[in-house]
Amino acid sequence: MTDYLWLIIVLPLAGAVLNHFVGRRIGEPRSGWLAVVGVGSAFVYGAVAAVPFFRGGDVAEEAVTSVHLFDWIPGIGATAELLWDPLAATMVMVVTGVGTLIHIYAIGYMHGDERFSRFFTYLNFFAASMLILVLADNFAVLFVGWELVGLSSYLLISFWFSRPSAAAAGKKAFIVNRIGDFGFMVALMIIFVSFGTLSYGPILENPGDVIGVGTATAIGLLLLVGAVGKSAQIPLYIWLPDAMEGPTPVSALIHAATMVTAGVYIVARTASIFELSTVAGGAVATVGALTALLAATIAIAQRDIKRVLAYSTISQLGYMFMAVGVGGYVAGVFHLVTHAVFKALLFLGAGAVIHGMGDEQDMMKMGGLRKKMPLTWITMGIATLSIAGIPPLAGFWSKDEILAVLFERGGYFTVLWAVGLLTALLTAFYMGRQYFLVFEGKARWDEGVEPHESPRVMTNPLVVLAALTVLVGLINTPFRLSFENFLEPAFEAVNIAQGPESAGSITLLAVVSVLAGVAGLVMAYLLYGRADETTRQRMLGLVRRPMFVWENAYWVDRVYGRLVVAPGKRIAVWMAEFVDQVVIDGLVNGVGGTVRRIGGWVRPLQTGFVRSYGVLLAGGAVALVAWIMSRGL
Amino acid sequence: MVELILFVVLSTVVIGGALSMILGRNPVYAAMGMLATLFGLAVIYVIQLAHFVAVVQVIVYAGAVMTLFLFVIMFIGVDKAQSLDEGLAWQRPAVLGVVAAILAMVGGLVLSGRWEWITADRVALSGQVIEIPVPPNGTIESIGESLINRWLLPFEATAVLLIIASVGAIVLAFYRPRRLQSVGDDAE
Amino acid sequence: MTVTPDWYMTLAAVLFLIGTIGLLLRNNALMMFMSVELMLNAVNLTFVTAGGAVGNLDGQMAVFFVLVVAAAEVAVGLAIIVSVFRSRSTATVDDLAELKG
C-alpha cells in the first residue's frame, strides 16, 4: 500500500487541477462533487493503508515505512520522501476525513457563488498541501507543505477579494505567517548544519548523539516561532480572527481543524529534539498556556459568532501546545483530533446559522433559533457540551488528559495546570453564552430576516460530525488507551508524558475539570439563559471595565500597528522616495550623465579639419616610435 | 672629393626646392621647387649607381606626376597667390611640438650613443671595420632580372593596381552629381 | 671626409621633416598633396641608400614599387580633388569640415 503513498497527495491535487481547467464548464454542483471525490478517495486510501497500525504491536512497528520518491537538492539534504507512521496516518485521516465532510457542506454553502469551482480548486489544493506537510519524511518537504498551506490560506481567506476587508485579512495572514516562517527556516538551517541532512530518520533517531542542549534549545525555540505563526499563538495570533473574512467552510477546515494544527504537529514530530531541552519544551507550554487564557478572555466579549469561535480555536490550540510542550504528545494529538471534530462542527453550524439568517453574524441579533433550525440546534448543542468538557463527549476525554499530564509533571507546570483549569471554565462560559444568545431566548433579529434550516447537503455533515464528537472521545479513555497504543510506533524515541497512575488521582482531577466546565455553563445560563435584560445589564455592569478590554482584544492590533506596521511603512516610503528615486535613479542616471560628459570632453577632438587630424596622427606616430625606441634603450 | 662637392650642391638644391615648395605663395612656383627637388634626387640616385631608378624618377615623377599636378593647378585656378594665414588655432604650435618631439628623439639617440641606429654604421655595431660595400649596379638588366625572378608577384600586383587606379580616375572624372545632370537636361 | 650613407639618410630625414611640416601647415589641397609626394621621395632616397649600404638590389626594388604606387595614388587623388572642386568650388581643405563632432 505504501508504494503508492504519494497518491494521497496526488488525488486532491488532481482534483484541484481538473477543477481549475474544467470546473467552470461542468458547473455547480458537479465541480464540488469532483473535489469531494478528490479528498474522499485520499481518505479511503489513507484508511486502508493505516490498517496495519490498527493491529498494533509488531505488525504496526513493521508497517512504519519511509517512501523515497526522488532526490531533490542533495546539496542541502533535501530528498523527496514520505513517512507513513501512526502519527502521519492520524493526521491524514483527520485532514481527509473532516475535510471530505466540509467539502460536502461547502457544496451547499457556496451555492450560487460566481466562483464556485474556483473555490473547490483552492480547497483541494489546500488539502494536497496539508497532506504534503503531514506525510513528509524530510524537513524540506515539510517546508514545502508548510509554505503551500500558507498560500492556500491566503487564497481562501481573500476568496471574496472584492471586499477590501477580505483582501486585507488575506494579506495579514500571509505576512504574519511569514514572520513565523522565518524562525522556521533558521531552525531548518541549524538542523542542516548540525546533522548534515534534512531527513527525519537520521535526525530524529537519536539527536542527543549529535547536538547538545544548547543547539536543541535553539532549534526548539525557532521551531516554536514557526509554530506560533502557523498555529496562531502569542504573539502571532492576530491573523486568525481576521481570517474569519473567508467563507465559513474555509474557517472550519483551515482555521480550526487542520492548518492551524501544523504547529502542534511539528512539535510532536520533532519530539526527540524537544526532549533534549527543557527550556524549549517549557517555552512551548508556557506560550500555550498564556495564549489559551488570553484568547478565552477575549472570546467572552465578542459579538460576532465566528469571532468567538476564532478565539476559541486559538485558546484550544494553546491547550495542545501545553500538552506537547511537557511531553504529552498523545494527549496533544488526541485533543487535536477531538478539537478538529467539534470545532469543525461548531464552525459549520455557525455557517448554517449565518446562512439561514441571511448572512447575519451578530449574535445580538439572533435568539430563539432552536425552533427555526432544529438540526443545527441539536448538533451545535452537542458540540458546545463537548468543548465545555462534559463527559462522555470527546472534549472531556482529551482536555482532561491534557490537564492530567500537566498536573502530573508537577513543579512549575502545576501553575499551567491551574491556568488550564481556569481557561476550561472560561471556555465553557463563552460557549454557553454563545449557545444561549443564538438558540435560546427571545427572537431579536431584524425585520425581513427569515431564519430557516439549511439544505440537506449542509446538515448531513453536521450530523456526522456530531456523531463523531460523541464517539471519538472513546479512543483514548483512561480505561483503554487505544489511541496511545496506536501512536506508540511514532514516538519510539521519546518518553510520552503520562497522567497520574492512581485511579484516585485520575478521578479527582476529572471531577475538578468537569466541575469547572459545569460552573462555566451554569454561569452562562444564569446570565444569558434565564436572566432578563435588566439583571443581565446589572451583572455585566460589575465587570464593565474588563469586558471593555476583552471586547477590544486588548488592542493588540493597534499596538502592533504603531510599533511595527507604522515604522515599517515609514521605511518603505523612505525607500521608495529616497533610496529608489534619489540614490538608485541618481546612480543610473549618473552613469548615463557621466558617459555623456566624457563624450562631451572627447567630442571636440572631431574638429572636422583634416589638418588637425593630421597633427594628431603625426603626434601619435612620434609617440609610438618613441615608445619602441625606449624599450630598446 | 668629387662626391663631397656633389653632395653639398645637390643637397642644397634638394632642400632649397623643398623649402620653396612649402613656403611658396604661388602654387606654380611651389611646383617648380618640387621639380628641382626631384631632379636633384635623380642625380643622387645616379651617384648611388641606381641608374634605372634615376631614369624612372625623371620620367615618371618629374615628367608625369608633376605635369599632372600643374595641369590640375591650372584647371582649378589656384595659380594665383594663396594666403599663408593659418585658419586653425593651435595648429602651428602643435606642429612645432611634433617637430620638437622628433628632434628630441633624434637628439636622445645621439646623446645616448646609439648613433648607429640612424646611420647603421657597421663599425660601431660589430667593432670591426668593414669596407663600405660597393653599391650594386642598378642597371636595367639587373633590375629586370630581379623583378622577374624574385619580385614577380608584386610586379603583377602593381599592374592590377594601375588598372584600378586608371578606372577610378576615369569614373571620378566623368562623375556628375545627379542634380546637376537633371538641371542640365531640363535646361536643354 | 667621405660621404657615407649616413649623410644621405640624414638628407632624407630632413626632407621627410620638411614634407611633414608642409603637409600640416598648408591648407590648399594641392599643396598638401605635393608635400606628401615630397615625403614619398624622401623615403625613396632612404631605400636606395639603405639598399646600397646593405649591398643588394632590394632597396631599389622597393623604390620601384613605391614609385608605381605613388603614381597611381597621384592620379586618383587628383581626380578626387578635381571632383571636390567641381561640387564645392573650393580647394581649401579647411572648408571641407562637415564631419565635425
Maximum Cα–Cα distance across chain A: 117
> For residue C80, which residues of chain A lie inside 8 Å, CB to CB?
none
Beta bridge partners of A477: A480
Closest CA to B82 of C28, C22, A609, C96: C28
Q: What is the pLDDT of residue B186?
A: 45
For A127-160, what is each residue's pLDDT tens digit?
999 999 999 999 999 999 999 999 999 999 999 9
> For residue B91, which residues of chain A lie inside 8 Å, CB to CB?
611-612, 615
A265 has a pLDDT exceeding 50? yes
Mean pLDDT of A59-71: 81
A61 has a pLDDT exceeding 90? no
**Is the backbone of residue A421 left (phi > 0), alpha (psi -120 to 50) or beta?**
alpha
Of B98, B108, B114, the CB nearest to A618: B98
* Sign of the torsion angle spanned by Cα atoms A76, A82, A85, A87: positive
Contact C51, C59 (CB under 8 A): yes
CB of A112 within 8 Å of a chain C CB? The answer is: no
Of C14, C61, C82, the CB nearest to B15: C14
Chain A partners (3+ C-beta pairs within 8 A): B, C
- Where are any strands of DSSP class E within A99-167? none
CA dist A230 → A148, A220, A341 (Å): 12, 15, 20
Maximum Cα–Cα distance across chain B: 80
Domain residues for the domain of C75 are: 5-98
B residues 13-42 closer than 8 Å to C (CB): 14-15, 18-19, 21-22, 27, 30-31, 34, 37-38, 41
B185 has a pLDDT exceeding 50? no
Cβ distance of B27 and C31 shorter than 8 Å: yes
Mean pLDDT of B95-100: 89
Q: What is the pLDDT of residue C87?
A: 83
B114 has a pLDDT exceeding 80? no
> For residue C52, which residues of chain B lie inside 8 Å, CB to CB?
48-50, 133, 135-136
Mutation target to probe the B interface, by most B beta carbons within 10 A, among C36, C37, C48 is C48
CB of C93 within 8 Å of a chain A CB? The answer is: yes
A24 has a pLDDT exceeding 90? no
Q: What is the C-alpha to C-alpha distance for residues B167 and C69, in angstroms, rounded to an integer?
A: 15
In which band, very low, low, confident or very high, does the pLDDT at B92 lie, cut at 50, 70 and 90?
A: confident
Name every residue whose Cβ is closer than 8 Å to that of residue A128 and which is 6 or more positions away in sequence: A9, A10, A12, A13, A16, A148
CB of C50 within 8 Å of a chain B CB? The answer is: yes
How many structural domains comprise chain C? 1
CB of B78 within 8 Å of a chain C CB? The answer is: yes
Does the reported pTM lie above 0.90? no
Maximum Cα–Cα distance across chain C: 56
CB of C31 within 8 Å of a chain A CB? The answer is: no
CA dist A529 → A136, A213, A521, C33 (Å): 48, 53, 10, 119
Of A604, A605, A611, the CB nearest to C24: A611
CB of B61 within 8 Å of a chain C CB? The answer is: yes
Q: Tell me, what amino acid is at B178?
A: R
CA dist A599 → A50, A155, A324, A579, A605 (Å): 77, 53, 71, 28, 10
Q: Which three cell numbers stand for residue A256?
A: 480550526
Cβ distance of C82 and B75 shorter than 8 Å: yes
Give the CB-side neighbour count of residue A354, counting CA atoms within 13 A: 21
> For residue A618, which residues of chain B lie inside 8 Å, CB to CB?
95, 98
Residue of A nearest to C101 (CA): A606
For A342-377, what is each residue's pLDDT tens digit?
999 999 999 999 888 888 888 888 888 888 888 888
Cβ distance of C24 and A603 shorter than 8 Å: no
> For residue B102, which residues of chain A lie inside 8 Å, CB to CB?
622
> For residue C93, which residues of chain A lie inside 8 Å, CB to CB?
609-611
Mean pLDDT of A445-471: 83
Q: What is the C-alpha to C-alpha distance for residues A503 and B68, in angstroms, rounded to an integer?
A: 133
Q: Which of A16-30, A443-457, B111-125 has the highest mean pLDDT?
A: A16-30
B130 has a pLDDT exceeding 60? no
Q: What is the pLDDT of residue B83?
A: 66
What CATH number is given to the structural domain containing C73?
A: 1.10.287.3510
Q: What is the pLDDT of residue A247?
A: 92
Q: What is the pLDDT of residue B182?
A: 47
Residue percentage of chain A with pLDDT more than 90: 37
Of B56, B136, B150, the CB nearest to C67: B56
In which band, very low, low, confident or very high, does the pLDDT at A183 lie, cut at 50, 70 and 90?
A: very high
C98 DSSP assignment: T
Q: Which three cell numbers stand for residue A302?
A: 465578542
In which band, very low, low, confident or very high, does the pLDDT at A487 lie, cut at 50, 70 and 90?
A: confident
For B26-67, what is each residue's pLDDT tens digit?
888 899 999 999 999 999 999 888 899 999 999 999 999 999
Residue of C nearest to A615 (CA): C24
A608 DSSP assignment: S
Cβ distance of B94 and A615 shorter than 8 Å: yes
Name every residue whose Cβ is closer than 8 Å to that of residue A482 and which is 6 or more positions away in sequence: A475, A476
What are the φ/ψ torsions at residue A539 (nearest 5 degrees)?
-65, -45
In which band, very low, low, confident or very high, does the pLDDT at A290 lie, cut at 50, 70 and 90?
A: very high
Q: What is the pLDDT of residue B62?
A: 92
Helix (H/G/I), strand (E/B), else coil: A67: strand
Q: What is the pLDDT of residue A212?
A: 84
Mean pLDDT of A546-573: 85
> For residue B114, which residues of chain A lie inside 8 Å, CB to CB?
633
CB of C84 within 8 Å of a chain A CB? The answer is: no
CB of A604 within 8 Å of a chain C CB? The answer is: yes
Q: What does the pLDDT profile of chain C (101 residues) look like in tens digits?
A: 677 777 888 899 899 999 999 998 888 888 899 999 999 999 999 999 888 877 788 889 999 999 999 999 999 999 998 888 888 877 788 777 777 76
B112 vs A272, more confident: A272
Q: What is the pLDDT of residue B127?
A: 56
